[in-house]
Amino acid sequence: MSMKSLHIIKIGGNVIDNSKNLHHFLKDFTGLDGYKILVHGGGKVATQLSETLGIEAKLVDGRRITDIETLRVVTMVYGGLINKNIVAQLQRFGNNAMGLTGADGNFIRTKKRPVKTIDYGFVGDIDERSIDSKGIGKLLEAGFTPVFCALTHDGEGQLLNTNADTIASALAVALSDLFETTLIYCFEKKGVLMDVNDDDSIIRDIDPVKYEELKIKQIIHSGMLPKLENAFTAIACGVKAVVIGHSDDLGELKKNKPFGTRLSKTV
């Protein structure tokens, strides 16, 4: 018996912050065949609200420190404002979405990041036992589309801010036991590019061998490296493929046209 397909799609702030882009993306997302899960971060709204409330954003090496005030803001924005707006729009397109944090249904339980040189505050780290894949599977089988925001919990009553890319990857790995999972990261480029200055120089397919070649030639470096490292780790753990592309082009998948860069075990 062949496994049912599941797309897990993560969208970033560049989509969330633009209502026209978001509308277009959610319409394309609804049109995808098979089971689907959407994962989203927060965009600029959390920063704007923090400023309005007089709460200073604390960053160390570009990473946000989540103190209790910041956690309150991201809970309001990620779990409330953004999540419920997305759910309402998906319902409009006939997609029976359900907005969730990791605490809902106890679907994603994390551990508070231990303090080493830096105290990141109320930040949750995912491990291999964090995801309740059976519970989420039941939700999908019942006809719902889960929409997860970047909040999890520790099982002791504490919500925790958790990286949305990491949540999407962990969901894809955990659910690959039950479904044929494809993980899609929508970001501001059309894919992995041969030439950063040429938006149309998309590398359509990358396998582990080609990845090593591209690293040696320094075509892939800096910001793209952790994204692709995580992608190949997910593939090694059972995910069928990871696709990186622009949210505007997601509709190409429905038309069986190439979309973004596809990372898999073999090209």
Please say whether the structural domain 5-263 has been given the CATH code 3.40.1160.10.
Answer: yes
CA 200 distance to own-chain centroid: 24
* Cβ-based neighbour number of residue 193 at 10 Å: 18
Distances in whole angstroms, Cα of residue 212 to Cα of each of 62, 182, 206, 235: 27, 22, 10, 15
The per-residue pLDDT for range 113-141, each reduced to its tens digit, is 999 999 999 999 999 999 999 999 999 99
d(CA 131, CA 105): 11
Mean pLDDT of the 84-95 span: 97
Looking at per-residue pLDDT, the higher value among 31 and 196 belongs to 31
Whole-prediction pTM value?
Answer: 0.95
Q: What is the pLDDT of residue 152?
A: 98
Percent of the residues in the chain that have a pLDDT greater than 90, as a whole number = 76
Q: What is the pLDDT of residue 1?
A: 54
Domain extent listing, the chain: 5-263
d(CA 267, CA 251): 22
80 is in an annotated binding site: no
Please check the confidence at residue 2 and state whether its pLDDT lies above 80. Answer: no
43 is in an annotated binding site: yes
Please check the confidence at residue 25 and state whether its pLDDT lies above 80. Answer: yes
64 is in an annotated binding site: yes
Mean pLDDT of the 78-90 span: 97
8 Å CB contact between 248 and 190:
no
Q: What is the pLDDT of residue 206?
A: 95
260 is in an annotated binding site: no
Give the pLDDT band (50/70/90) at residue 66. very high
